[in-house]
Amino acid sequence: MNGGYGMVFRKGNSRTTDTDDLGTAPRPWVASALAPFQEQLAALARPGETASLAVITDTHYKSGFDATYYGINGLQHVTEFMANVANQPGIDAYAHLGDLIDGSESGPADQQHLREMVAALSQPVGKPFYIAKGNHDDNDKFDEHQVARRASFQANTFADIVFQADYRQPQLQRFSQRYGVAWLDVGPVRFLFINTSDVPYRLNRFGIKKYDVKLNLAVRQGQMAEIIQILQMSGDKAIIVCGHGNLLKANHKDGLHHNGRTLHELFRAFNLQARGTVATHGRNADFQINLPFDFTRVRNARITAYVCGHRHTEQTFVDHDIRYLLLNCSALMGRNHQLTTKYNARWDRRYGETNEYAGYALVADPAARQLSVLGYGAATPLRQFAMWFPEPRN
């Protein structure tokens, strides 16, 4: 089944926009609004038979209230995601795919925002989770607007707050804690989490970063070596890869600034059970890759999908049997802001309406050989795609 669905944009039901209460506790009306989503999830997800991942992305949490744009709503959306989506019986695990914060406030303020987001996502719902690094999560947006432009985060600020919380979970498998790579198996489905903000931290003598992480999405050699290791032990798995940035664009050009296409070609080689070397010959030594791989002994396995956020839109396309799924931002994006994407402008998103937020659940169903993508808020309610699954071993 392909994604032949009708896209319907409708203004959400209006709710209170009282700005006196800037608390972030789950709002009762949001719970009511998400009841149809929960019912659809219950109909599609069967614990022990399907593999389901709840996903939220691009919350852009920052201080203060805004009725049509980024603000404290970023944290509120996460608390409501946890209370109404991640805790549902049909969900096996959940993920935030990056840009937790807007990265536009002082270093201490945004470090506190990261801690608050991790605390919200670490609520004891009894399920494993993964939090990805987005290109806004190193606070470069704040740095670029300061006269001195000095780095407000240290090299390991994000990792010490966020990746540490990821790796604290015994259910989340990994080879190391160096790159932000991890995987989680649910039956025949392997969710592989990668880091598309894999950028070296280098300062000049004035304390200014050589690389603005916000403007340099990348995957480097060390991370790719771990990905190869994981893939070489991924027999009998249908693999869904999740990250912040899209490796490819819809026109099939590189979606990252460094090595997006290279990693996609490695995934193609895996699906072909190939052996060889993945190599780049760019001028920048920081992002060069030269690694051998051998997938000839991997049986009954395939990378089926790549799921990400970053672009603040919904989009899907296929490149050599790998389906790309770009998910919309949870952050409030009203129509009259310069950075608002066309997709979100069409939703005319506003605080206190049911299009204020956005989130998803992925349900991989081996029996139906189908991937269902359920959305709530400013997202398509249901899309379904054919999905490859490994044949059961006798």
Whether residue 6 lies inside any domain: the answer is: no
pLDDT at 22: 64
Has residue 28 been placed in a domain? no
Residue 196 resides in a domain: yes
Say if 267 falls within a structural domain. Answer: yes
Say which CATH number the domain at 263 has: 3.60.21.10
Q: Is residue 87 pLDDT above 70, yes or no?
A: yes
Percent of the chain exceeding pLDDT 70 equals 94
What value does the mean pLDDT take over residues 193-209? 98
pLDDT at residue 13, rounded to an integer: 45
Tell me, yes or no, whether 34 lies in a domain: no
Decide if 234 contacts 240 (C-beta within 8 A).
no
Residue 292 confidence (pLDDT): 98
Cβ proximity of 117 and 366 under 8 Å: no
196 token code pair = 């598309």
For 52, 79, 271, 364, 383, the CA distances from 322, given in Å and listed in that order, are 19, 32, 9, 15, 16
Domain total for the chain? 1
Nearest Cα to Cα of residue 378 among 327, 339, 340, 337: 327
Whether the predicted pLDDT of 17 surpasses 60:
no
Mean pLDDT of the chain: 94
Residue 361 in any domain: the answer is yes
Which pTM was predicted?
0.94
Binned at pLDDT 50, 70 and 90, residue 23 comes out as: confident
Indicate the residue type of 348.
D
Whether the per-residue pLDDT at 394 is higher than 90: the answer is: no
Q: Decide if pLDDT at 7 tops 70.
A: no
Which range marks the domain in which residue 282 is found? 52-386
Q: Which residue has the higher pLDDT, 12 or 104?
A: 104
Sheet holding 315-319, edge to edge: 182-186, 189-193, 238-242, 302-308, 322-326, 315-319
97 located within any domain: yes
236 lies in some domain: yes
